[in-house]
Amino acid sequence: MILTLTETERQVALAISVAVALCGLALAAAGNQDTMEIHGWLILAFGGICALVVIREIWGPEPPKSRLESYYDEPIKFGIAASMAWAVVAMFVGVWVAALLAFPDLTFDGAWASFGRLRPVHTSGVIFGFGGNALIATSLHVVQRTSRARLPDQLSAWFVLVGYNLFCILAASGYLLGVTQSKEYAEAEWYADIWLVIVWVTYFILYIRTLARRKEPHIYVANWYFMAFILVVAILHSINNLAVPVSLGHAKSYTIWSGVQDAMVQWWYGHNAVAFFLTAGFLGMLYYYLPIRAQRPIFSYRLSILSFWGITFFYMWAGSHHLHYTALPHWVQTLGMTFSVMLLVPSWASAGNALLTLNGAWHRVRDDATLRFMMVAAVFYGISTFEGSFLAIRPVNSLSHYTDWTVGHVHAGALGWVALITFGSLYTLVPSLWKREGMYSPALVEWHFWLSLAGTLVYIFAMWNSGIIQGLMWRTYTEEGTLAYSFLDSLRAMYPYYIARAFGGLLFLIGAVIGAYNMWMTVRAAPAKAPLESDVPLNAAVAAAGRG
């Protein structure tokens, strides 16, 4: 992988790795005794390993000029591997926290294994680790293909992917240590946040530079969604994480926002993280991999443009539906509610566009589990956005808020939509990237599909049930006007549902493990597609090209 970098790029890579390692050392020194010290050593080790990897091959031969006649896919392969690795780890932690709710003893008396610490490991792990790596990898694949242009250089994409994973590791390990900003989906502390800004800006510039090199005049719509994802996440992350550290030697920081402004900024961030991280980017995947896999063009290109602008401009205003019945001014709540309901239109336009694309290819959906992943993802996208618009209505929210119904909604979106579209896209991408005829085992893809679908259904039905029961128990009054049930009563009523949910999650986890295994074996063992173009051993070919 280092051999695909030019000599200058290798030197820059080494310099960056060393700089990162030195920053780690500085953090470790400044943070002495604080949890930050541990993170300092971690960063030092991470930078050191990167430096070693680069040094090992720094004097290797230059990559051949002919590289410019192909797309640059090496970092994308890394991103896919990282994505699946995070999926397995983070979904395992998800099953663990689900089990904790039914069997609280599973913390084994360790502070690090308490619910409050493991939960963000799960949420950040799946959203940023699994989802984020998949988004970066697929976006770099799609932008090259649809622009008919190679990435402008070899180093930036590596910096983005490796740097991004450093952020994910800092985040997850920090939560186990008790480091947190206490902002949902943005728990990582200030130094990790600053690092993410650097990585993300590089990502944005890389994307723009690739688009600027495009040979195809029109920018395909999938890129618009990816661009919106990158740009808006940069804005959200920077504004929500404005904070002042206690001192430069402390992990703890305090946000500059206060009171209801803080709540509003947080949920402006939170909801747009749903919109642009968990929706826009994955719609980019949908608009590229679904037509490819179905071998049919998107049903209506115009509709995809209209829904793009609808989604980007409506979502921005919807965040306040997370703060119904709070100190937030009433009109702001109403604004969020109204935009949430309007959002249903562009959301269903996308879901409908996807399903209509498949109209006429249903036989393929029947036979091909990969395409079925994407079809079911579009259906769940439709379901979860309908549900979201419904939950955003203030009186409905008075029943659902604080209950498991929200969790059910989240997972209709996260499992049914985000994870399934990702698996469908990766199953399309992996064989083509590694030049294989197909996946190692189509039967295992089938298994993965049915396990995912069963797991998702068990999960969301359990949470719908428990959520509505919870909500109703909390608002049932006796004739004397007192509450009929104590909180503990409602907790006891949840017990069977929590077990069912953990079981559904387990099915989903098994599916993901099977998927990771299948991809691994595809890379290792599946037969190659075309015979190799030349018969010359690689080193000789490289040397010859180097001379030429």
Q: Which residues bind another protein (CB under 8 A)?
A: 68-71, 144-146, 148-150, 215-218, 220-222, 288, 291-292, 295-298, 301-302, 305-306, 309, 313, 329, 331, 432
Residues of 103-116 as b/e, b for ≥16 C-beta within 10 angstroms?
eeeebeeeeebbee
Q: Angle, nearest 10°, between helix axes 35-56 and 155-177? A: 150
Residue from the set 186, 196, 221, 318 that interacts with ligand HEM by CB under 6 A? 318
Residue from the set 146, 241, 312, 397 that interacts with ligand HEM by CB under 6 A? 397
CB nearer to ligand HEM: give 162 or 344.
344
Q: Is 168 helix (H, G, I), strand (E, B) or coil?
A: helix
Interface map 166-205 toward ligand HEM (x if CB under 6 A) = ------------------x---------------------
CB nearer to ligand HEM: give 160 or 351.
351
Bind-site residues for heme b:
122, 409, 411
Task: Provide, rounded to whole angstroms, the least separation between the CB of residue 69 and another protein.
Answer: 6
Using rule CB under 6 A, residue 312 touches ligand HEM: no
Helices in 213-278 by DSSP H: which ranges?
221-240, 259-272
Bind-site residues for Cu cation:
271, 321-322
Burial class (CB in 10 A: 0-12, 13-18, 19+), 538: exposed
Residue from the set 98, 192, 377, 414 that interacts with ligand HEM by CB under 6 A? 414
Task: Provide, rounded to whole angstroms, the least separation between the CB of residue 346 and another protein.
Answer: 11
Burial class (CB in 10 A: 0-12, 13-18, 19+), 241: buried
Bind-site residues:
122, 271, 321-322, 409, 411
Token pair 């064989």 is found at 431
Give the bridge partners for 253, in sequence order: 245
Using rule CB under 6 A, residue 428 touches ligand HEM: no
Task: Provide, rounded to whole angstroms, the least separation between the CB of residue 237 and ligand HEM.
Answer: 16
Residue from the set 122, 409, 448, 501 that interacts with ligand HEM by CB under 6 A? 409
Interface map 321-360 toward ligand HEM (x if CB under 6 A) = xx-----------------x--xx--x-------------
Task: Provide, rounded to whole angstroms, the least separation between the CB of residue 261 and another protein.
Answer: 13
Residue 482: contacted member of another protein, ligand HEM, none (CB under 5 to 8 Å, by partner type): none
Number of residues this chain uses to bind ligand HEM (CB under 6 A): 27
Residue 406: contacted member of another protein, ligand HEM, none (CB under 5 to 8 Å, by partner type): ligand HEM
Residue 478 is inside which H or E element, if any? Answer: none
Task: Provide, rounded to whole angstroms, the least separation between the CB of residue 292 and another protein.
Answer: 6
Residues sharing a CB contact under 8 Å with residue 220, sequence separation 6 or more, in sequence order: 142, 146, 287, 288
Cα–Cα distance, 463 to 455 (Å, whole number): 12
Quick one: which of 125, 137, 245, 130 has its CA closest to 194?
245
Task: Provide, rounded to whole angstroms, the least separation between the CB of residue 23 and ligand HEM.
Answer: 32
Using rule CB under 6 A, residue 165 touches ligand HEM: no
Among all residues, whose Cβ is closest to ligand HEM? 388
Residues sharing a CB contact under 8 Å with residue 193, sequence separation 6 or more, in sequence order: 186, 237, 241, 243
Question: 431: how many CB neighbours lie within 10 A of its CB?
Answer: 19
Q: Is 439 helix (H, G, I), strand (E, B) or coil?
A: coil
The C-alpha R_g of the chain, in whole angstroms, comes to 24
Cα–Cα distance, 33 to 246 (Å, whole number): 15
Q: Is 322 helix (H, G, I), strand (E, B) or coil?
A: helix
Task: Provide, rounded to whole angstroms, the least separation between the CB of residue 434 and ligand HEM.
Answer: 29
Residue 251 backbone phi and psi in degrees, to 5: -70, -30
Token pair 């998107």 is found at 298
CB nearer to another protein: give 106 or 356.
356
Q: Which whole-number Å values give the CA distances from 382 to 280, 349, 376, in the listed order?
A: 14, 9, 10
Token pair 């993965």 is found at 448
Q: Is 110 helix (H, G, I), strand (E, B) or coil?
A: coil
CB nearer to ligand HEM: give 83 or 340.
340
Residues sharing a CB contact under 8 Å with residue 258, sequence separation 6 or more, in sequence order: none
Cα–Cα distance, 65 to 11 (Å, whole number): 19
Torsion angle of the four alpha carbons 229, 234, 237, 241, in this order, in degrees rounded to the nearest 10: 180
Residue from the set 272, 312, 389, 422 that interacts with ligand HEM by CB under 6 A? 389
CB nearer to ligand HEM: give 62 or 184.
184
Task: Provide, rounded to whole angstroms, the least separation between the CB of residue 182 and ligand HEM.
Answer: 13
User: Please, which of residues 221-250 interact with ligand HEM by CB under 6 A?
Assistant: none
Task: Provide, rounded to whole angstroms, the least separation between the CB of residue 432 and another protein.
Answer: 8
CB nearer to another protein: give 211 or 292.
292
Using rule CB under 6 A, residue 274 touches ligand HEM: yes
Fill in the DSSP letter of residue 57.
T
Question: 475: how many CB neighbours lie within 10 A of its CB?
Answer: 12
Task: Provide, rounded to whole angstroms, the least separation between the CB of residue 147 and another protein.
Answer: 8
Task: Provide, rounded to whole angstroms, the least separation between the CB of residue 9 and another protein.
Answer: 19
Using rule CB under 6 A, residue 124 touches ligand HEM: no
Among the listed ranges 148-156, 410-418, 484-492, 498-506, the one in contact with ligand HEM (CB under 6 A) is: 410-418
Interface residue list for ligand HEM (CB under 6 A):
184, 274, 278-279, 318, 321-322, 340, 343-344, 347, 384-385, 388-389, 391-392, 397, 400-401, 406, 409-410, 413-414, 417-418
